[in-house]
Amino acid sequence: MKRPAAVTASAIFSLLGSLAVIAFFVLMSATMLVAPRQRPFLTEAKLGLMISLVMFGVLGAWGIVTSIGLLRLRNWGRISIIVFSVFLALIGLGAGPLILLIPSPPNVPQNFGTVRIVIAIVYGAFGVLGALWLYYFNRRSTCDAFGGTSTPDGGRPLSISIIGWWFLLAGIGTITAIPLRMPGSLFVWVVTGWSAAVCYLVFSALSAYVGYGLLRLNPIARVIGICWLCFGAVNGVVFFALPGHDARIRNLMAHFAWGQQSAPHAQFPPLFYILVMVIGVAVPLWFLVTRKTAFERSNGTPLR
């Protein structure tokens, strides 16, 4: 079947963007190696920068491989760009309004407001692009062009595939919080040090297990995933809704500065945090609850 023009345009755009990300990754990596050390950095800061660069490299490689799959009309390429579209839409449409709501720091340049608006528009544009890709690559005609369907992997719904990969990648990414010595929240407590490391280790293992199990259509993983999402929602609501939330947020942000003075942060009302968290939990929870039939009729789908 002839490749649709929109698929070709999406592949080229993705390829150019990915090459730009790879170029940034190479440039920043070279700068870190050859630039003179004018002042020492904290170990955690160095590690955080290295992890960020690795993430740029992985995203760039992911985009290049996805572009090749789209140009060759491979169904895995369509699935890959759909998964990427979810992240792009959530980050773009979520970060755009958030940037406009963050209070301006003191002594800002006169053009700070204009710059902030431009940045928010750019985030919003990428969010809209992700939403458009999500719609287009789920259309029946687009699926037919790739020779696939909305349930390409032995009856596994596309929504479950996206949620499964989301859990799996989140579980792998959470591990990086341990060497970075990032704090965590557990109901009304801010946990640090070894307590936070243990929490992140448990969170990572559970998320990775749920993600892998969802991709295999394991009914137990679905139940654990539902419970895990509910726990996350309750944990967030308790942390932000109970009295003393301002002090808890300041304490949490202070530890994010790796022992230094906490940087100023936006004083959003607790309802803002709760709404963001509830929306982030409600969407995957709805699909896990409503796609129960796919798990009941499956004896285990190979991961692919």
pLDDT at 151: 53
**CA torsion, points 222, 228, 232, 233, in degrees to nearest 10?**
50
Q: Is the model more confident about 46 or about 147?
A: 147
pLDDT of 188 over the 60 cut: yes
Average pLDDT, the chain: 80
pTM score over 0.75? no
pLDDT tens for each residue of 96-122: 777 776 666 667 677 777 888 888 888
C-alpha angle 10/170/289, rounded to 5°?
90
Q: How far apart are CA 152 and CA 159, in angstroms?
A: 11
Partners of 189 in the β-ladder: 186
DSSP 116-184: HHHHHHHHHHHHHHHHHHHHHTTSHHHHHHTT--SSTBTTB-HHHHHHHHHHHHHHHHHGGGTTTT--E
pLDDT at 263: 45
Partners of 153 in the β-ladder: 156
pLDDT of 180 over the 70 cut: yes
pLDDT at 105: 65
Whole-number Cα distances in Å, 174 to 90, 249, 251? 19, 20, 21
Q: How confident is the model at residue 262 (pLDDT cuts 50, 70, 90)?
A: very low
145 touches 4 (CB < 8 A): yes
Q: How far apart are CA 70 and CA 194, in angstroms?
A: 45
Q: How far apart are CA 1 and CA 19, in angstroms?
A: 28
Start-to-end CA distance of the chain, whole Å, equals 24
**CA torsion, points 25, 30, 32, 36, in degrees to nearest 10?**
-150
Return the domain boundaries, the chain: 1-32+42-149, 151-304
| Residues 6+ positions from 55 with CB-CB distance below 8 Å | none
What would you report as the CA-atom Rg of the chain, rounded to the nearest whole angstrom? 21
pLDDT tens for each residue of 212-236: 999 899 999 999 999 999 998 888 8
pLDDT at 211: 93
Report the half-sphere exposure of 87 (CA within 13 A, side-chain side). 13
pLDDT at 120: 84
Query: Quick one: the chain helix, strand, coil %, rounded to 5?
Result: 75, 5, 25
| Residues 6+ positions from 265 with CB-CB distance below 8 Å | 249, 250, 253
Q: Give the three-state DSSP class for 55.
A: helix
Residue type, position 257, single letter = A
DSSP state of 185: E
pLDDT of 66 over the 70 cut: yes
